[in-house]
Amino acid sequence: MPYVITKSNGQTLTVIEDAEVDITSTSLSLIGKNYSGYGLVIDQNFVKLLENFSSSSHPENVIQGQLWYDSSSAGKRLNVCYDGTNFKPLANLTAKYEIPPTNSVVGDLWWDTSSNQLKAYNGSNYQLVGPPTSASINANWVIEKEASDNELTGAEYTIIRAEFDNSPIVTVADLQSLTTSTFIPKSGSSLVSNFVNGIKKGITLAGCDEFGSSADNGYYFWGTASEAESAKVKTASTGSNASHYVTFGSSLSGNQRLYTTSTFFFNPSTNVLNATATAARYADLAERYESDEVYALGTVVIVGGPKEITTTNVAANTAVAGVISKYPAYMMNSEAGNDATHPYVALKGRVLCKVYGPVTKGDMLVTSRHPGYACAYVHGDHPRAVFATALQSFSGEFGSIEVKI
């Protein structure tokens, strides 16, 4: 009577006649009733099953669910027949302490029990899969939804934070839908203690004050922005009776250091800038005086008229005050009116001056009979009427030259 062999799902696999052996239906030799020498065949089948058909090539006549150990140098892995024809390798996970497994192939997994981290073999070494924080180093990037204390109930925002020993030191946030510029963590959040002034869009360091500085807590961005530690800025109110020091850069471009000096500062309460001048762009010292009309640059004026200064048609007038200046190097009485009502009068230095010619360079100058114009000193003029020396010659009738007062 033949043997009918069925698979686990009830499907008939083969029928073996008496005293015969079936070697084509599966990778094993299936024995029929009363077959002589059946013991050797059975022993051979046990060995094949024990070694999972260990070979560099998969066995023939496979069935779904069959195991095969690939003994090739690139294999060294147990495979399973998943569709009755093809094999795929089973996951190879090794758990051991510290030292990576040997004889690994691409895709092998290793659970490193020293750090409690999963690693995968890429063909040359094991790369970390995760988690990023090992058991011995308590540092991590955490991505969480955080509720805001200054938003509507239930509003949450995605915050990325870097933690060391469970203490957040920096956050990265987008906050696109936030109705205010600052995210205030809710009470009970791990962010509250290190971000008391809230979290801004972008990167926020722990301990930032209301002006965005974390210097007082010792947190900085280093590298190309290392000089930024000197750039802590606070806006001074106009009523602040304190000195605020002017900052200077160490170079015109590239990496710079910032410097201040105790002799150069500004006080908002007085609007006074304190400095020591060693050079000036322009070349005269001038003071504002009230004039009886608007005068052009270079006009010669005297003390007199209904206001403080006016022009004169008296030659060699001894009441001469100076020359109208447009760009004084040093401006005295600067708060007294403007250029129309209180023009600057050059009292000393180099300045442009209207002249009635001819004038020769080096001539001493006095007022002329033409209002607002100077002319060369002539014999008989009062010596006290001289107010300037010509730095240029002029052969025309009316013009302007540079003079030294």
For tokens 């093809």, the residue is 86
Q: Which two tokens stand for residue 97?
A: 């302490």
Q: What one-letter code names the amino acid at 301?
A: V
392 Cβ partners below 8 Å, 6+ apart?
Answer: 359, 361, 401, 402
Strands 344-356 and 330-332, bridge-based pairing: unpaired
37 Cβ partners below 8 Å, 6+ apart?
Answer: none
Q: Specify whether the CB–CB gap between 312 and 319 falls below 8 A.
A: yes
Confidence of residue 349 (pLDDT cuts 50, 70, 90): very high
- DSSP, residue by residue, 48-106: HHHTTT-BSSPPSS--TT-EEEE-STTT-EEEEESSSS-EEEPP-EEEESSSPPSS--T
Residue 307: the pLDDT is: 96
144 Cβ partners below 8 Å, 6+ apart?
Answer: 158, 159, 161
297 Cβ partners below 8 Å, 6+ apart?
Answer: 324, 325, 326, 352
Strands 139-147 and 126-130, bridge-based pairing: unpaired
Confidence of residue 391 (pLDDT cuts 50, 70, 90): very high
Mean pLDDT across the stretch 227-251?
Answer: 64
For tokens 């080096």, the residue is 362
* CATH class of the domain defined by 284-404: mainly beta
Give domain limits for the chain.
3-50, 93-130, 139-219, 233-276, 284-404
More confident residue, 132 or 12: 12
Query: What's the residue count for the chain?
Result: 405
Confidence of residue 332 (pLDDT cuts 50, 70, 90): very high
Looking at the chain, the whole-number percentage of residues with pLDDT higher than 90 is 49
Q: What one-letter code names the amino acid at 279?
A: A
Q: pLDDT by residue (tens digit) across 110-140? A: 888 877 889 998 888 999 888 776 656 677 7
Q: pLDDT by residue (tens digit) across 169-183? A: 898 888 776 666 788
Q: Taking 60 as the threshold, does the pLDDT of residue 304 lie above it?
A: yes
Q: Is 229 helix (H, G, I), strand (E, B) or coil?
A: helix
Longest dimension (CA), the chain: 160
